[in-house]
Amino acid sequence: MRLCFIVLRKLRDFVVVGLIFLVMIVICYFLRERMRAQIWERMMIHRLASEGENGLDPYVQGWNYAQGDGVPMNQNEAIRLWRESAERGSFEAQFTLGEAYSGMGFGELHSSKGWSQQIDHLEAVKWYRMAAENGYAKAQFRLGEAYNSGQGVPKDPAEAFRWWTIAAERGDSLARFRLAETYFTQKKMLIALAWLNLVNEEHISKSHFKRGLAEDYKNLKVKISEILKPEDIKDAKVLSEELLIQLESAERLKREEEPAGIVSQILEGWK
């Protein structure tokens, strides 16, 4: 009799554990399904936020109107669509608005296709800053240019240098060239050459930022190479490689640093 009670108790415990296990499985299932639903909902919200009423990205639509691609050219509609996309968080749209209002971008669009947007440097800086603070390297370079020229913001060479450095850290060749020019002016030839070594020459040659930029790049490299000793040129190459390794590592790790923090640490021992 006692044995029967023991068996029944064990059986009861087994049933209780089984029920608890089953309840846990059911709870996990519903939690998983709820998580899937939430992920799907977020994806749909993001998709709707990045698409216009007809299902097309308003940023792309804006370019269609800017270039007259499949639709009549209409710069007001282009600006409206870019603004719509920019306000939803598109860094590219924010940058493009900066280009539109500064009159600096679009390659040959302004002259060849009749683009006549009124220049507004304050508005340009507003959009450049928005994209720059979100990590968009091209906008960071442009913001540096604004501080360097004093267009849309008070002229501030130190702030220009800071933004160029941030953009250079993220791989922008124009910013790296600007840093090389600045260090050359400061007679820090080795560091200037190190930055020049990291410039993408093809990017420079295709850039519409400034006429003759590719020639300026080559001339600056020749000038520095004529001033530096062979051993200094080798050291500049070593510094370039060190910068590149650290910057690529930081990008992979998505390291959060103070602006220009990585570069400042590396260059400290080379000044």
**Tens-digit pLDDT string for the chain (271 aa):** 555 656 566 666 666 666 776 777 767 676 677 766 665 555 444 444 444 444 578 999 999 988 888 888 888 899 999 999 999 999 999 999 999 898 765 544 554 455 666 789 999 999 999 999 999 999 999 999 999 999 999 999 999 999 999 999 999 999 999 999 999 999 999 999 999 999 988 887 777 666 678 889 999 999 999 999 999 999 999 999 988 888 876 665 454 444 455 566 666 655 5
DSSP letters along the chain, please? Answer: -HHHHHHHHHHHHHHHHHHHHHHHHHHHHHHHHHHHHHHHHHHHHHHHHHS-TTSS-HHHHHHHHHHTSSS---HHHHHHHHHHHHHTT-HHHHHHHHHHHHT--STTHHHHS---PPP-HHHHHHHHHHHHHTT-HHHHHHHHHHHHHTSSS---HHHHHHHHHHHHHTT-HHHHHHHHHHHHHTT-HHHHHHHHHTS-HHHHHH--SSTTHHHHHHHHHHHHHHHS-HHHHHHHHHHHHHHHHHHHHHHHHT---STTHHHHHHHGGG-
Domain 55-155 has CATH 1.10.3720.10: no
Domains in the chain: boundaries = 1-50, 55-155, 161-271
